[in-house]
Amino acid sequence: MKGIGWNVGSNSKLKFWTDNWVKGKSVRELIQGPIRQAEQEITIEEIRQGGEWHWNAISFDLPPYIKGRILATPIQIYGEKGDYMNWKASKDGEFTVASAYTLARPEEKHRDGFKGSWIWKINSLPRICHFLWLCHHNSAPIREKHRNRVVFENTTLNPKLHDSCLKQAIEYVYYVGKSFRTIQVRYSNVKWNKPMEGWGKLNSDEASLGNLGRAGGGRLIQDHRGGWVRGYTRNIGFTTIVIAKFWALRDRLKLALQLGVDCLEVELNAKVVVNLVLSNLVTNRDYSLLNDCRYLLSRFQQTRVNHTYREANRATDGVAKEGCMQQEEFVILFNPPTPDIVTFVNEDATSLYYVRRVANTLPFMAN
């Protein structure tokens, strides 16, 4: 059915070639050329076994870009949740009438719509924004006053009155509206904080060559002294930055459990990922990785999930960049891979501070 996509569950029964499971598209849509009749009904479960893709199970030699998109497609590996549908025409995977209408009438999407959304983004008083909005819709009440002046005072009719009002209001906001918001810059000292004794600390990061570009993940576990315990890199494939961060988080949680860590502190430099992990949000988006992360966190005796700035995560950032460029899908690191990462780890152990520039925004409060 048009508009239906699939999220891949554990032990997936979806057809590898024809079901819409790769970002709402089928693999067949992404390639050109014939496929053997015997392979038409092959399922994802038959090709992906033991957590790895066995490309020799199909006769078609997929291009590297297609393999990258398949590698990056989230697949749930814990729990018994099966394949489930999503609505690919919306951002959150939920059905809406508006998205269905756009899907049914794609030509409507390209028509000129309301172009005044910038009005609600300017730094000004609400009543000024409302006045601009009225002007943009040719609905400012000033036209009635102008009409009365034309009728009773015999003044000249101005056919572009709304344009004149809009230009004057914009000019006013440009020269005066900026004073409603003051932006100040301050500098904050940021460092990697050691976990409590008996705890392990997991730092995760991703590197991406642009959104929907080639992505890699890096994970690093350090002890309470800041020493290197274990790290790894992953070639994630072609995906969004948020999905890449979930890949990184799930991999590092698995690694921590394998190392026998009981109490774990997790630091992420993506606040949106922290909020999703700590929330009870249930969504139809391709967040199979989120479900796995929540499950893995429940396996530890104690956990803490916190947000940190990138400056306090430099060692993991360096590891993630290694994963972005590697050819292997997954590599475990028993030691820091480069001299730069050795330096970053030593700086963490000595609690070295980094300076981060932070913008303070002080909004104008109207009475």
Q: Which two tokens stand for residue 176?
A: 């005066």
Q: Tell me, yes or no, whether 208 and 240 share the same domain.
A: yes
Shared-domain flag, residues 174 and 143: yes
Task: Show the tokens assigned to 57.
Answer: 């199970």
Domain shared by 337 and 223, yes or no: yes
Report the distance separating Cα 277 and Cα 266, nearest Å.
Answer: 11
Range 253-260, long-range pairs (CB < 8 A, 24+ positions): 253/202, 253/293, 253/296, 253/297, 254/296, 255/219, 255/221, 255/230, 255/332, 256/200, 256/202, 256/221, 256/300, 257/296, 257/299, 257/300, 259/200, 259/221, 259/229, 259/230
C-alpha 133/C-alpha 151 separation (Å) is 27
Please check whether residue 338 lies inside any domain of the structure.
Answer: yes
Q: Is residue 363 part of a domain?
A: no
Res 290: pLDDT: 85
Asked whether residue 313 is domain-assigned, the answer is yes
pLDDT at 131: 77
Residues 27 and 54 in one domain: yes
Does 328 lie in the same domain as 208? yes
Q: How many structural domains are present in the chain?
A: 3
**Are 74 and 32 members of one domain?**
yes
Question: Pick from 108, 125, 158: which residue ends a domain?
Answer: 108
Q: Is 291 left (phi over 0), alpha (psi -120 to 50) or beta?
A: alpha
Asked whether residue 250 falls in the same domain as residue 210, the answer is yes
Supply the range of the domain harboring residue 66. 4-108
Domain boundary among 184, 208, 232: 184
Shared domain for 130 and 102, answered yes or no, is no
pLDDT of amino acid 364: 41
Residue 220 burial (CB count, 10 A)? 30
pLDDT value for 214: 59
Residues 123 and 173 in one domain: yes
- The answer for 317, left when phi > 0, alpha when psi is -120 to 50, beta otherwise, is alpha
CB neighbours of residue 261 within 10 Å: 23
Token pair of 311, please?
A: 């400056």
Q: Are residues 209 and 314 in the same domain?
A: yes
Those residues whose C-beta lies under 8 Å from the C-beta of residue 298, and which sit 6 or more positions away, are none
pTM: 0.63
- In this structure, are 126 and 89 located in the same domain? no
| 322 in any annotated domain | yes
Q: Is 190 among the domain residues?
A: no
12 domain-assigned: yes
What integer pLDDT is reported at residue 42 of this predicted model? 92
Ranges of residues in the chain whose predicted pLDDT is under 50: 180, 210, 361-367
What CATH number corresponds to the domain at position 332?
A: 3.30.420.10
Task: List C-alpha distances in Å: 305 to 74, 202, 299, 310.
Answer: 22, 10, 14, 15
**Domain membership flag for residue 299:** yes
The answer to whether position 361 is within a domain reads no
| Of 291, 316, 329, 318, nearest in space to 214 by CA | 329
Helix (H, G, I), strand (E, B) or coil at 279: coil
Indicate whether 173 and 305 sit together in one domain: no
Of 108, 138, 167, the one marking the end of a domain is 108
> Does residue 276 sit in helix, strand or coil?
helix
